[in-house]
């Protein structure tokens, strides 16, 4: 089983996955947050970071990917539909529901102090593709709605990284604050449920969600 190290990186969380074939990172947190990832790599005594997979092109998910690539040589991958946004240093939030209205002005403020760098990916993958060629036994699941190219990443051990498809406050539920296409979110939840995960890591919680709870979610 891989060792998974959730790392708080500014406004987001990066997940360092430790395998016998190398280190792999799922998301990278906000800009200028590469040090927490490097610190964790030092703590576990490994520096063989091979791939940084970005679940979606938002400020708090790919912000430090470019810096980490420069420092480690790791390759950055993302779904094809979010690749252009990353390359253009965009973080499109779409429309808001409930208290999601606070995010557009908040993002504008933090981006002023810590600008989002242009981050062209080294490779792009689509639904059903795997990262096996990079030594990572993980399957890409296209789960759009929050962004056009939002993905979940499923490991062979039945662990899934679900990005911001789900929110965790006050309890785990389908994304209800920000989306570029609200109509696509229910279908994306069904995609996640059909993958039958044992554990699910989401973008803003250090603790995973039990797969049985995922199956009980409704929209």
Full DSSP string of 136-204: --EEEEE--SSSTT-EEEEETTSEEE-TTSEE-SSS-EE--SEES-GGGHHHHHHHHHHT--SEEE-TT
- Which whole-number Å values give the CA distances from 117 to 14, 74, 86, 141, 219, in the listed order? 17, 17, 8, 26, 35
Query: Coil, strand, or helix at residue 12?
Result: strand
Q: Check whether the bond before 218 is cis (ω within 30° of 0).
A: no
Tokens linked to 4 = 């998974």
CA atoms within 13 A on the CB side of 178: 19
Say whether pLDDT at 13 is over 90: yes
> What is the pLDDT averaged over residues 95-105?
96
Strands laid side by side in the 159-161 sheet: 138-142, 151-155, 159-161, 199-201, 209-210
Say how far apart CA 50 and CA 136 lie, in whole Å.
9
Q: Average pLDDT in the 174-197 region? A: 98
Residue 90, φ and ψ in degrees, nearest 5: -100, 155
pLDDT in tens, 32-88: 999 999 999 999 999 999 999 999 999 999 999 999 999 999 999 999 999 999 999
Q: Is the pLDDT of residue 1 over 90?
A: no
Paired with 13 in beta bridges are: 8
pTM of full prediction above 0.95 = yes
């Amino acid at each position: 089983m891989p060792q998974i190290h959730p790392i708080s990186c500014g406004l987001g969380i990066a997940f360092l996955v430790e395998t016998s074939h190398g280190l792999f990172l799922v998301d990278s947190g906000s800009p200028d947050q590469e040090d927490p990832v490097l610190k964790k790599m030092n703590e576990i005594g490994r520096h063989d970071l091979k791939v940084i997979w970005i679940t979606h092109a938002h400020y708090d998910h790919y912000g430090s990917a470019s810096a980490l690539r420069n420092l480690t040589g790791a390759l950055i991958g993302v779904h094809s539909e979010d690749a252009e946004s990353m390359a253009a240093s965009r973080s499109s939030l779409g429309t808001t529901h409930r208290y999601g209205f606070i995010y557009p002005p908040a993002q504008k403020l933090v981006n002023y102090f810590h600008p989002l760098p242009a981050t062209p990916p080294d490779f792009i993958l689509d639904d059903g593709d795997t990262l096996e060629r990079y030594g990572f036994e993980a399957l890409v699941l296209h789960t759009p709605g929050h962004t056009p190219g939002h993905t979940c990443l499923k490991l062979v051990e039945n662990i899934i990284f679900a990005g911001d498809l789900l929110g965790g406050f006050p309890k785990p539920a389908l994304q209800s604050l920000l989306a570029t296409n609200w109509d696509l979110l229910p279908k994306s939840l069904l995609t996640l449920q059909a993958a039958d995960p044992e554990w699910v890591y989401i973008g803003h919680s250090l603790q995973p969600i039990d797969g049985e709870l995922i199956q009980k979610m409704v929209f």
